[in-house]
Amino acid sequence: MAKIIVFNNDTDRMETYYRGENEPMPYNTNGTLRVREFRGSSKSSTLWTTKRTMQSWNSQRYIYGSAIPVGFAFKRPWEGGHGNQSQHYAGVAFDVGQRLSQSQRTRLWNSANNSGVWSFVEPISLTPTWVHFDKRFRYSSLLNWWLSSTKKRKFE
């Protein structure tokens, strides 16, 4: 039994759910994302995500029109495999399509990239055997670009 904490972006409140491994994630439509898929290899008994992330998953699954095999979505920082700013730590990212053919992965990547529901879809050249998409809160790389491109101010 997993404890799942969901930030509800509509009410600005945290919600707590308890679900078995084979049960659907909160806010999931038609049982297309099970707790065990979201958890992946994480050993955590507590998982977290946002309502908007789950709604984006529902939209992506509908747009793609077929089952999407999920490698994992959630990871705690010390469980490894990602950089120290990974969106998997926030429970808002998915690595999917590992069992799909290259042509199916390309179709999935195109549907995610063109859908407009994700904040970020990793370039296909960086993820040759899976598709990564996430619902991050801000575009950190765009912020860093903006900061580096503005003129330095003099403080006197």
Expressed as residue numbers, the domain containing 30 is 2-147
Condensed to tens digits (0 to 9), the pLDDT of residues 31-45 reads: 999 999 999 989 999
CATH number at residue 142: 3.30.1380
Classify each residue of 108-128 as buried b or exposed e, where b means 16 or more C-beta atoms within 10 Å of its C-beta. bbebbbebebbbbbbebeebe
Classify each residue of 55-64 as buried b or exposed e, where b means 16 or more C-beta atoms within 10 Å of its C-beta. bbbbebbeeb
Q: Assess if residue 113 is contained within a domain.
A: yes
Q: Assess if residue 6 is contained within a domain.
A: yes
Q: Is 93 exposed, middle or buried (0-12, 13-18, 19+ CB in 10 A)?
A: buried
> C-alpha distances in angstroms, 66 versus 53, 92, 109, 146?
19, 21, 13, 38
Decide: 25 and 54 in contact? Cβ < 8 Å: yes
pLDDT greater than 70 at residue 156: no
Q: What is the largest CA-CA distance in the chain?
A: 61
Counting the structural domains of the chain, the total is 1
Q: Assess if residue 153 is contained within a domain.
A: no
Condensed to tens digits (0 to 9), the pLDDT of residues 43-97 reads: 999 999 999 999 999 999 999 999 999 998 998 777 766 666 678 788 889 999 9
Q: Assess if residue 93 is contained within a domain.
A: yes
Q: Assess if residue 127 is contained within a domain.
A: yes
Q: Assess if residue 142 is contained within a domain.
A: yes
